[in-house]
Chain A
Amino acid sequence: MRKSRLTALFAVLLLALAAVAAAGCGGGSDTTGTSGGGGSAEGGGGGEPLTVGSDIPYPPFEQGKSPDYEGFDIELMEAIGEKIGRTPEFQDTSFETIFRDVAQGKFEAVISAATITEEREKEVAFSDPYYLSEQAILVKEGSEIGGIEDLEGKTVGAQQGTTGLELGKEKANAGELRPYPEGPDAINALKAGTVEAVIIDQPVAQNAVEEEGGIEISESVPTEESYGIALAKDNTELLKEINKGLAEVISDGTYKTIYEKWFHKEPPKQFLG
């Protein structure tokens, strides 16, 4: 009896040790990563790191595994960071609480394909627009759904807390509107056939069509909205810097390079240097 209890104790200790070792390894590889954790404060590219919140994945705006995130937002933020002398450090976070968190200072800025809306502007400050948004109705190949008016009575997916979901509530008379935790969840549901259409940001839909196959965009809906970088309202200093950095990135053509890399087309006129 006593012996078996000792063996059990030993096993538990061994497990704990393994966990600690694993955590140690994780920490070790982290410091060799690009963002460099705490180390970049002393060395690095000058200035304090800029903490940025983003809901990852949302390809092609943000994707990849920590700390090697990539995507249009990520590269744009890095380019802006270079101009203002601060290296962005990205934190993956949930979109539904992202504005509250930046308002409370959990991170300094948010770049997360976030549409500038009046409602959100009550809580946070937005930079100048950096992207003109369009929503897309994503359907299975060969679907009869030709546009937003055909969604009547259908089961439609969207991502929680997004303008796509708002559009669905306001314009599509869907039979059921399902808010998924992440955009890719909604797209998976479409592929599985549990929803008949998904309303999601146009480039995300485009990316999904190219990557997945079997699905297509039935209609792109211009929303006259644009994306901005969100900051806490009282952080006017940083807002000014980010706007200046964004303007420089646009005028020297870096914006165009990044845009073409991720969206395979020329950016709208206002973003050409």
Chain B
Amino acid sequence: MSQFFNQYFNFDVMREHFGEVLVGFLQNLLVFAVAAVLALALGLFLALLRQLPGKKLMPIRFLTIAYIDFFRAVPILIIILMISGGVPFLSFLPQEVRIPHWFGRPDPFWYGVAALVIVYGAFSAEVYRAGIEAVPRGQMEAARSLGMSHFQAMRHVVVPQGVTKIPAPMLNELISLLKDTTLVSVIALSESVLVSREVLSERLNSSSLTLTAIFFVIIILPLARVVDKLIARQQLKVTRGSHIEVA
């Protein structure tokens, strides 16, 4: 038992490497922040493409659905490795795109962000779709009959109502995005897991990984509670029997 505690809860190891692991964790948060903003934007864009009306725009809808289905099915790790192991060799791209060092961040940072945005864009598009499709059809029809274009109706009527229905599922996506930032360690971005593994190989002790896990729990647990609250509130609206309120 003491062996177990020494292996996973050696406080000396945790104390001595606290600073390094924390700096690594901030790297995770930074990847998360950039990827989350871009993924939410991409997701909304994809969701809108998917809702385009008319027969002529069928190919666009089809391609969007293909994109969403594909990237929801492929493991993120594969996408990360494919971008990092392939993009630098695409000599037709300019140097600063092949090996990006934007805003002073190293290239594995941007490869990781790109992979996460590509995949989580697809996931969040599905969440947006759920929100948009939950808005009664009559809203769109009414807006159109007032003379709004499809885009105007989406922009001013449907999307504003749709997004009020999805904070809980979207927050769940963001939580898993935050956790998946650790995958970027495989392409040698010095984030918390990579730093902890380095400590592990140096000290032959897993406590640094425990410390990393604690950091994630501290951030994610409150978010998970918020999700619960949001779901409970939504439930209440339905059980009261009132029709779902409009923003």
Interface residues of A (CB under 8 A from B): 95-97, 99-100, 103, 119, 123, 155, 157, 160-161, 176, 178-181, 185-186, 188-189, 192-194
Contact = CB atoms under 8 A, between A and B. Distances in A.
Contact of B201 (A161, A185, A192): A161
Contacts of A103: 204
B202 A160 contact: no
Given A155-B106, A160-B198, A160-B201, A192 B186 contact: no
B85 A95 contact: no
A157 B194 CA distance: 14
B107 interface: yes
B85 A192 contact: yes
B16 to A, nearest CB: 14
A96 to B, nearest CB: 4
A194 B198 contact: no
B72 interface: no
Given A99-B204, A155-B106, A193-B99, A161 B198 contact: yes
Question: Which 6 pairs show the lowest CB-CB distances between chains A and B?
Answer: A161-B201, A192-B88, A96-B201, A178-B188, A180-B188, A100-B204
A161 B188 contact: no
Interface string B84-118: 11001100000000110000001110000000000
B204 A123 contact: yes
B106 A157 contact: no
A96 B197 contact: yes
A245 to B, nearest CB: 27
Given A99-B204, A193-B98, A194-B88, 19 more contacts: A96-B201, A97-B200, A123-B204, A155-B106, A160-B201, A161-B198, A179-B188, A179-B194, A180-B188, A185-B187, A185-B188, A186-B188, A188-B85, A192-B88, A192-B99, A194-B84, A194-B99, A194-B107, A194-B108
A127 to B, nearest CB: 19
B204 A181 contact: no
B190 interface: yes
A179 B190 CA distance: 8
Nearest to B3: A104
Contact of A95 (B187, B190, B201): B201
A55 to B, nearest CB: 11
Contacts of B99: 192-194
Interface in B35-89: 84-85, 88-89
Contacts of A186: 188
Contact of B89 (A96, A99, A192): A192
Contacts of B201: 95-97, 160-161
A193 B88 contact: yes
B64 to A, nearest CB: 25
Contacts of B107: 194
Interface string B143-163: 000000000000000000000
Contacts of A157: 188
A178 B190 contact: yes
Contacts of B198: 96, 160-161, 179
Contacts of B197: 96, 160-161
Interface string B186-223: 11101000100110111010000000000000000000
B88 A119 contact: no
B202 A119 contact: yes
B43 to A, nearest CB: 28
A189 B188 contact: yes
A178 B198 CA distance: 11
B106 A176 contact: yes
Contacts of A176: 106
A96 B204 CA distance: 8
Contacts of A95: 201
Contacts of B204: 99-100, 103, 123
A178 B108 contact: yes
Contacts of B106: 155, 176, 178
Nearest to B81: A185
Contacts of B200: 96-97
Contacts of B85: 188, 192
29 contacts: A95-B201, A96-B197, A96-B200, A96-B201, A99-B204, A103-B204, A160-B194, A160-B197, A160-B198, A161-B198, A161-B201, A161-B202, A178-B108, A178-B188, A178-B190, A179-B188, A179-B194, A181-B188, A186-B188, A188-B85, A189-B188, A192-B88, A192-B89, A192-B99, A193-B88, A193-B98, A194-B84, A194-B99, A194-B107
A79 B245 CA distance: 78
Contacts of B84: 194
Contacts of A194: 84, 88, 99, 107-108
